[in-house]
Chains A and B, each alone.
Chain A
Amino acid sequence: MIKEKKSRIILIVEDEAIISKTYAEELRYEGFTVFTAENGKEGLKLALAKTPDLILLDILMPVMDGLTMMDKLRKKNAYGKKVPVVLLSNLSSSEEKIMKTITNTKNEPTSYFVKSDWDLDDVVKKIKELLSKGETKK
């Protein structure tokens, strides 16, 4: 059997160990290569080192929050500007700061999901969808 093309890389930046683990295991099960980071600072470092195809990013985290990390990443380089980021948080999407971030980044692939409202299956589906979108663009 010919191995599928190199598996896509996903970076999970999430401070809650159980949540991070569950996403990671589900995504590995789905065939992705997964890296995890516990905060924005670590996440930024890993993102730049591993250049994942997609980043799952929590917002409220110690050391550096997700929005700050995304901001730094977007400003860093061309890769950072283009990489799809899925903000996964339990903050309501009507929160002003999130809305601002999303509307300010119209040209950048940023999605937002409320964690507790999304089933694991749906998140995986969404990730695949986003990745295939990026594929067709290429």
Chain B
Amino acid sequence: MHTNKNGIIELKNKLAITAKGKEDVRRKLAIVAREKEDTRRKLEITAKQLAVTAKELAATAKEKEDVRRKLVVTAKALAVYTTGLEVKDIKRTAELVERVKELESLNKEMDTARAKERAILLSMGDGLFATDEKGNIIFINKKAEKLLGIQSEKVMGKAFSEIVQKEDEKGIPIPPEKRPINVALETGTVPVTPTVTAPYYYVRKNKTRFPVAITVTPIMLEKKIIGAIEVFRDITQEKATDRAKSEFISVASHQLKTPATAIKLLSERLLGGKMGKFTKKQQEYFEDIRSSNERMIELVNALLRVSRLELGAYVIRVQEKDPCAIVDDILTESKYMIAKKRLKLKLVSQKNHPMLSLDEHMFRMVINNLVTNAVNYTKEGGEIRVNCKVAKKGEVLGKKLLDKDYFVVTVADTGYGIPLAAQGKIFTKFFRADNARAKHTDGTGLGLYIVKSTLGYSGGQIWFTSRENKGSIFYVAIPMAGMKATTPKKESIG
């Protein structure tokens, strides 16, 4: 064996070894395979992990993208917004500028308007000044400065009464509380200021003075008096004209009455029989001359009364008088006239005669007028009733409700009456009803006008009731408080 055996053995060994080596290699291969498998697995895991990571990465990228996109959107929006903002701002600014411009121009306009207004007031042809509620000057125009001889800046804020003296016709100063501007501030009303007939005067610093026509009005704001405004005008010219007018009337009366008076005196001398006897016809003609002349005098007197009334020159002077006695006296004087027409006369007078302050001259004129009318416009044989009495407030007389106590004279007749159509005009100047014209041709149409006007001035009243062809009743009412006296407004020439 050895060699063989050995060789076999050896082969066997060698074979064994080779098998073993093969086993080893197999084993090694298996290990390698296993390692490979591990690696593969590991790789697989890694791949998986990578995939996850990739996914994650992808998600992140997406998110990022989203954020980016959002950012872009935001950015765009911001951009848009910003742009929008800019546009709005610009627009707004432009608008504001426009408004400011408008306001500026308005302001300018207002300034111009204000300046205009100021200029208007400043340059007004009449004197003008305004005061605050305390009577201190807040505005004075150029004409006022000029008329009064003062300077605006020196008088601002001062009381007007301290600066310029105001006085009446006679030179008596008007006390501050009676000055129209203070009356306006005190009462909030437009005070009645004297007119051309007896105006107030302003006295300049140099002691010269001028008559003024004044209009004062309170300045009201939300029902509160915040001041007063006075407009005044130099009426020297008007005064002169007015004076000329009254002088004319005075002179005209004298002129018109002088020849009438001469005729009156001459015809009276003739008719008195002192110049010898007349034939019947001569006597008749001279009577006619006298009565025509009397009519002329009457008419001139009536016209003068009217002009005096209209000039505000009618003066009412009151004295305590017994009106019943005056009425009685007038009727006694009218007896001849009444008897001539064979009229019946009845006087009813209350027993205890009241005393009344009245202008006797005027009262006589009124009653005389009514009695004469009653005689003239009543048929022969008719009746005239005169009644004097005190009537109480609330009493109804001739359809009129008395608003206070009056002394009432009633003159009633059974005459022609006043046609309904004429009743509204009976107190109108120069009006005469047709039936009156027909029955009595020589009336002036002035009597009742004068009566009503003068009574009106004195606070009295006149009214009537009448029926055509039945007669009329005239009522004259004088307040028991008396007639209102007027202060003479007019200076007349002597």
Report A's interface with B, CB cutoff 8 A: 16, 18-19, 22-23, 25-26, 29, 59-60, 65-68, 89-99, 101, 115-117, 119-121
Q: Are B314 and A94 in contact (CB under 8 A)?
A: yes
| A127–B56 CA distance with the chains assembled, in angstroms | 153
Q: How far is the CB of B175 from chain A (nearest CB, A)?
A: 24
Per-residue A-contact encoding for B400-435, CB less than 8 Å = 1, 0 else:
000000000000000000000000000000000000
Asked, given contacts A65-B494, A90-B261, A98-B494, whether A22 binds B253 with beta carbons under 8 Å apart, the answer is no
Cross-chain contact B274 with A97 (CB below 8 angstroms): no
By the criterion CB–CB under 8 Å, are B262 and A91 in contact? no
| Residues from chain B with Cβ under 8 Å of A68 in the complex | 494
A21 to chain B, nearest CB (A): 9
A91 touches B250 (CB 8 A): yes
How far in angstroms is the closest Cβ of chain B from A122?
A: 10
CB-contacts of B139-197 with A (<8 A): none
Contacts of B303-358 to chain A: CB distance below 8 A = 304, 308, 314-315, 317
Known A-B contacts A25-B269, A119-B268, A121-B272; A97 and B493 likewise in contact (beta carbons under 8 Å)? yes
Residue of B nearest to A29 (CB): B274
Binds A, one of B71-79, B90-98, B219-227, B484-492: B484-492
A22–B494 CB distance below 8 A: no
Residue-wise interface mask of B (437-454) relative to A, using a CB-CB cutoff of 8 A (1 in contact, 0 not): 000000000000000000
Known pairs A89-B254, A95-B492. 6 more at Cβ < 8 A?
A90-B253, A91-B492, A92-B308, A96-B488, A96-B491, A96-B492
A26 and B492 alpha carbons, distance in the complex (Å) = 32
Q: Is the CB of A115 within 8 A of B315?
A: no
Of A60, A91, A116, A121, which is within 8 A of B260 by CB? A116
A-side contacts of B488, CB under 8 Å: 96, 99
Nearest B residue to A101 via CB reads B494
Contact A99 B315 (CB under 8 A): yes
Mind listing 10 A-B residue pairs with CB under 8 Å? A19-B261, A68-B494, A90-B257, A91-B492, A93-B361, A94-B317, A97-B491, A115-B261, A116-B264, A116-B297
Instruction: Give B contacts to A, CB under 8 Å.
Output: 250-251, 253-254, 257-258, 260-262, 264-266, 268-269, 272, 274, 297, 300-301, 304, 308, 314-315, 317, 361, 488, 490-494
Nearest Cβ in chain A — how far from B216, in angstroms?
A: 28
Residue contact A116 to B261, C-beta cutoff 8 Å = yes
> What chain B residues lie within 8 Å of A94 (beta carbons)?
308, 314-315, 317, 361
B250 close to A95 (CB less than 8 A):
yes
- CB-CB nearest 5 A-B residue pairs: A90-B257, A22-B265, A97-B494, A18-B262, A120-B268
Q: Is the interface of A mostly helix, strand, loop or mixed?
A: helix
Please tell me if the beta carbons of B269 and A26 are within 8 angstroms of each other in the complex: yes
Contact pick for A60, options B254, B261, B308, B314, CB 8 Å:
B254
Contact, CB under 8 Å: B490 / A96: yes
A97 and B261 within 8 A (CB) = no
* A90 in contact with B258 (CB, 8 Å): yes
Q: Which residues from chain B contact A59 at a C-beta distance below 8 Å? A: 494
Q: Which residue of the partner chain B has the closest CB to A16?
A: B258
Give the most central of B251, B254, B317: most A CB within 10 Å: B254
- Given A22-B266, A29-B274, answer yes or no on A95-B257 (Cβ-Cβ < 8 Å): no
Q: Is the CB of B268 within 8 A of A121?
A: yes
Q: What residues of B have a CB within 8 angstroms of the CB of A101 in the complex?
A: 494
* Residues in chain B near residue A60, CB distance under 8 A: 251, 254, 494
**Interchain nearest-CB distance for A18 vs B (Å):** 4
